[in-house]
Each structure stands twice: as structure tokens, then as C-alpha cells.
Amino acid sequence: MSSPGHVPVVIDQPDEAFVSRRRFIGLAAGASLAAGARSSTAAPAPVRVAQATPAPGRRVTIRVQDWHLAEKVWGAFERQMVDDFKRANPNVEVELDAVPYGETLNKFLAQTKAGQPADVVYAADAHTVQYLEAGYILDLAPHMTADRDFAADKFNAAAMKSVTRGDRIFAVPNAATPVLLHYNTEMFQKAGLDPNKPPRTWEEFQDATVKLTRKDPSGRTVQWGYAPHGKKVIGNMYRLINWFWENDADILTPDQKAAALNSPEAVEAFTFLVELGTKHRVFPPQATDIDPGGARSLLAKEQVAMLSGFLGGRAILIGENPAMKTKQAFAPLPTRKKKVNALNTEYWVVAGQSKNPEVAVSFIKHLMSRDGQVRMWKAVESIPGRKDAAADSSIEEDKFAKLAVSELAYSRSTPLIPQWAQIVDVTLDAFQRALLGQMLPKPALDQAAQQIDAILKR
């Protein structure tokens, strides 16, 4: 029996909208290079799954790759969505691959080169560009044109623009969220700070981090003011780049053809951040090995007071430590010369080599329906990439969700160019060297600039 509101799988003839890998590579690479770079109870929309095999009733298996599957709250949500899809479509099996965030890019690229990629892949925006440039993901435009509920204009416009090349669309934005200041309100109170008045400027932020860094009677530091994101993973760049942007600096020049991270404004911003660790000692000792999940765990364990993160971290913290339900809050990032934050967009894509592209697309439609997106918000508290879901009353009623939506007006995407992953590595390497005292901030940025210029010239 299929669940209410769903239509069982129908096996049809091959869809001519499927793009062959050879043709896709030509289209994707050519187009991308030329470009330079929540309380609704409505039933889920009907799902009609078509798969390119001739025999009706044949069992079909698709593989889904997503780092969130390893997380307690988000993983439980996705597994429930998978179970709902399988109940509605009994001849479809869904295998789950909880690949770590830091490995997802290289794993998908390697699997695709070997001809064995996952069918459905969750991707950060920078990952998506890499996949697109390599010609490894499916053009979803025919499916979006054919299904009004899956049309491109249903989703966040800025997020869609990043993955559109001409009339071709290569990904669907599951979540589009701005970077916020995420902090422990109890720690603020104990430090004599007002949790309802978080730091608004860099100077106030520095003062707060010092007050929030605490030693025990023996003199050993047991609490740190801020968790930086020093590990070399793409997700950390969403946190680091804000410091440059807020000081009217950037990593690259406006035309994205040369490095700009060693400009006076960039050096000033970078030095301010580095010295929070080297001079003011408000960073935990493992700063250079902290990724987004690690930073959240430190906040959940009440070892750090603040981090730069996303609203979705709230549910993750509660999953790790239920006591955090009443101890956490969000605020806009402290500012200096400009109010700006990095837009973090996470996408669903379909592998160009998927043997069951129609089933894979139908699975994404299930996740990206209004009902599916509102359910995601209620479960993991990430702002939906689908506009009507992001406008759900449950978001408007949540003060921190409302804040996140309002901050989107000040969000901008990181450079979506093929070389970005390499540039992130170089920039974070400079951050690590400066934090470890191996190089002073300016020489570290000068060296990084030379390396980035070389990467851009290849």
C-alpha cells in the first residue's frame, strides 16, 4: 500500500531529457567557463517516478550521499523522509552513504571517475561548482520545466542563479542560510555580560571574548571565548571570509582574476582575528583542527562561548546536549566597516552517470516539496531553499529564524569558480601558519596571494 498523498512508482520508457555524460560535459564545462566563473499540515505532493528500464515492477536502487546522515538530528530527519519515500514507492530501495563533510568532494569525484557515483548527492555550493566543471551532474532544467511544483522560480533566486548556466540548471537549493553569531547565554551572564546585548562591533566582540575566557583555580583555561574554524575544509571559509568582507576587503579582486587578501584592509582584518588567538588567548588550543562540526561540539559541551555558524546548529547542539535548549541564542555578526555575511547554500544534485536518473530526481522532488522543506525546517532548523516553505508561519514566529531570514538581505556568495577549493586550502593554510606562530599575519597573506595568483593562472 502506498502512503496517502503519494503515487506509487510507475516504470516508463527512457526520458529523452536525460543528458548523456559526453554531451553534459560539453554543455557544463563550456557554459561554466564562459560565465567565469515552517505550520503546514498539507500532504506531500504526489510523486510519479519514472525510471529508464523497460520491465514494469523491477526493483530499483538509488544511493544517497550526504554528510548530514551522520548527525543525530538531521540524520534522523533524512531517514524518516527516506522511509516515507520507500513506503510510497515499494519498488525503490534507497541506500544511504554518510560520508564525512571533509571527504564528500573527493569521494564523489573519485567515484564518478570510477563510474560508480552515488545517484543523489548533497553538496555545498563550492562542491557543486567542482562537479559542474567536471561535467559530473545532471541538467535538472527539463524536470523543473515539466513540473510546476518543481519549477525554478519556487526556489531562492540567488541560490538558483549560482547553479544556472544559460537555460540549464544543475542543482536545487535545499537550504540557504546566512552566517550568524551563535552563543551561550548562560556563559554571558556568568561573565557579567548581557545575553540580550551581544557584541555589535569588533571591539565589543574582542572585549566579550576576553571576558568569556575563563580559568579554573589552578590557572588552567577551561573555557574559551570563541571557536575559530581553522581546519582546511571548505565549510570553514564561510566563517573566515566574513572578517575580510566586514573590513571592506576580499580574498580575490572583483573580476576574480587575482588575489586581494594581502591588501592593507585584508591584513588588518586577518591580524585582528589571528591576534584573538595569539595575543588575547581566547581560542581553544586545537584551533587549527576545528571544522564546523567540531566547533558546534565545543559549544554543545560548553567549552566555548561563541562561534560563527548557522541557525541549523541550534537543533544539533540540543541533540548533543539537551541542556543547551535554554542556553543558546543568535545575533548578527559583529561588524566593522560593512554589514555583510556569507551565504551558505547547500544543494541536492543528481549524478550525470546515475543509472536511474528519473528515480533520483523524484527522490529530490520528495525532499524539496513544500511539505518536505517545512518538515526539514521543523526538524533541523535550516532555512529552506524553497521560497513558500521559507515563508511558513512557523519561521515567522521563531525570533531567531526571523533574524536569519532578515540577515539574508546582507548575504553574498563566496566566489563560485572552479579554483575556489584550492584557494580555500591556501587561505586556511595561511590562517593555520599565523595561528601557530609559524609566520606573521602579513607574510602569511603575502605568500598566500602568490600561491592564489599561480592557481588562477593555470
Domain membership flag for residue 12: no
Q: What is the CATH number of the domain that holds 448?
A: 3.40.190.10
Same-domain pairing of 242 and 383: no
Q: What integer is the mean pLDDT of 226-241?
A: 94
Domain membership flag for residue 335: yes
Same-domain pairing of 279 and 186: yes
Instruction: Cell numbers for 7, please give them.
Output: 503515487
CA 76 to chain centre: 18
pLDDT confidence of residue 450: 98
Residue 331 has pLDDT above 50, yes or no: yes
Same-domain pairing of 193 and 324: yes
pLDDT (tens digit, 9 = 90+) per residue, 176-203?
999 999 999 999 999 999 999 999 999 9
Same-domain pairing of 112 and 234: no
Same-domain pairing of 193 and 274: yes
The three-class DSSP label of residue 40 is coil
- What number of other Cβ atoms are within 10 A of residue 446's Cβ? 17
The three-class DSSP label of residue 429 is helix
Domain membership flag for residue 5: no
With bands split at pLDDT 50, 70 and 90, how would you rate the model's confidence at 57?
A: low
Same-domain pairing of 188 and 337: yes
Same-domain pairing of 120 and 232: no
Residue 50 has pLDDT above 90, yes or no: no
**DSSP for 58-118, written as a single string:** --EEEEEE-GGGGSHHHHHHHHHHHHHHHHH-TTEEEEEE---HHHHHHHHHHHHHTT---
Q: What integer is the mean pLDDT of 395-416?
A: 91
Domain membership flag for residue 8: no
Averaged confidence pLDDT in the chain: 88
pLDDT (tens digit, 9 = 90+) per residue, 307-330?
999 998 998 899 899 999 999 999
Percent above pLDDT 70 for the chain: 88
Domain membership flag for residue 171: yes
**DSSP for 227-247, written as a single string:** E---SS-HHHHHHHHHHHHHT
Same-domain pairing of 29 and 118: yes
pLDDT (tens digit, 9 = 90+) per residue, 165-176?
999 999 999 999
Domain membership flag for residue 272: yes
Same-domain pairing of 192 and 168: no
Dihedral sign, Cα of residue 104, residue 105, residue 108, residue 113:
negative
Residue 118 has pLDDT above 70, yes or no: yes
Same-domain pairing of 350 and 421: no
Domain membership flag for residue 96: yes
How many domains is the chain built from?
Answer: 2
Same-domain pairing of 275 and 157: no
- Give which of 200, 296, 278 is closest to 239, Cα–Cα: 296
| Residue 173 domain boundaries | 21-177+345-412
Residue 54 has pLDDT above 50, yes or no: no
pLDDT confidence of residue 56: 57
Residue 377 has pLDDT above 90, yes or no: yes
Domain membership flag for residue 446: yes
Q: Please tell me what DSSP assigns to residue 215.
A: E
pLDDT confidence of residue 48: 36
With bands split at pLDDT 50, 70 and 90, how would you rate the model's confidence at 77?
A: very high
What size, in residues, is the chain?
A: 458
pLDDT (tens digit, 9 = 90+) per residue, 422-452?
999 999 999 999 999 999 999 999 999 999 9
Residue 93 has pLDDT above 60, yes or no: yes
Residue 9 has pLDDT above 50, yes or no: no
Same-domain pairing of 312 and 241: yes
Tell me the C-alpha distance between 183 and 52, whole Å.
Answer: 50
